[in-house]
Amino acid sequence: MNFSFNLIKTDPSGARLGTAVTPHGAFSTPVFMPVGTRASVKGVTPEALREAGAEIILANTYHLYLRPGHETIAALGGLHRFMHWDGPILTDSGGFQVWSLGKLRRIDEEGVSFASHLDGARCVLTPESVVEIQEALGSDIIMPLDECTPYPSSREYAEDSMNLTHRWAQRCKKAKKNTGQALFGIVQGGMYGDLRAASAGAITGIGFDGYAIGGLSVGEDKALMHGMAEAALPHLSAASPRYLMGVGTPEDLVWGVGAGIDMFDCVMPTRNARNGTLFTTNGKLVIKNARHERDPAPVDEGCGCYTCRNYSRAYLRHLYMAGEVLSPVLNSIHNLYYYEWLMREMRSAISQDRFGQWSKAFHEGRNAGG
């Protein structure tokens, strides 16, 4: 089965409702993808992810290439069997992780050479090898190698980096052999709106199964992030899924859906969970606060997650303060459920042509956090 995307409708606000079909099942858009960097969403079983409502998850090419290695995963039946997840998987290219290595990496026309963060061994990723690795993993959606333009960057650097990403994208498309996998193109261009528009046009011109906006949420303020995404969106194919990489907060997701974006991923639900911050319909709740010491209420009244059905704020605070391993597990289950619930609410609002009203009510309810 090949990848396909059906745009079902567009709300008057511009928010889109769709369905994507992959060899490992379908998922509805707009969608949030929990991040399972090393073939594991931290502290959460695949069964718990399904209960939370996750339909597709993300794994990281760079980390799996270094450990345990794509050949090992392929020999064990591929990434789905390896991690016991039978639904769709998107693997990113590792470009962002290589960018984060800073002085440990060198970029040239051929690709990226870097020192492994594990043992310092010299490694090389090229557009061709990134496709080869992801084909061995067997993920449903794969991403090309790109350079995540540093922030801040001069216009000259951003333009050169963007053009390199375009050349690498062409090489990735040429190298792809597995017709069952979808390959998305990635828009770059730094923090220059005209470059973002040009990149979106160039990547669409090459032709991919979907289109991602990369290189954002790297230190810029929200207004700039929104502006760069909005500069690219009109130049992306309306018939293909649009993916905003590495973003973000619940407010970011609501803004992004309203802007016409279909796919999101971020480590925020699980990272915040480990730090004792929980997302609720009224905003953030910091579980370590003393006010929760004897609070018998669940994290969020009306939440249907396993954590809220069974545990009080007092117990969750106790676990966090005591450093118990169960703390990030229960917190992550709640946060992931909240994110998936939020996406379901938005899909429902779009289907009824009321996303604009729903969005207004969402923002009005964000002022009563815990």
Query: What are the residue numbers of the active site?
Result: 92, 265
Residue 207 burial (CB < 10 Å; 0-12/13-18/19+)?
exposed
Local structure of 352: helix, strand or coil: coil
Query: What CA–CA distance (Å, rounded) separates 184 from 139?
Result: 13
- Token digits of residue 115: 């020192």
| φ/ψ (deg, to 5) at 215 | 75, 20
CA nearest 249: which of 229, 230, 224, 277? 277
| φ/ψ (deg, to 5) at 85 | -130, 115
Partners of 210 in the β-ladder: 184
Beta strands, E only, the chain: 4-10, 16-22, 25-29, 31-33, 57-60, 89-92, 105-107, 112-115, 122-125, 141-142, 182-187, 210-213, 242-244, 263-265, 277-280, 283-286
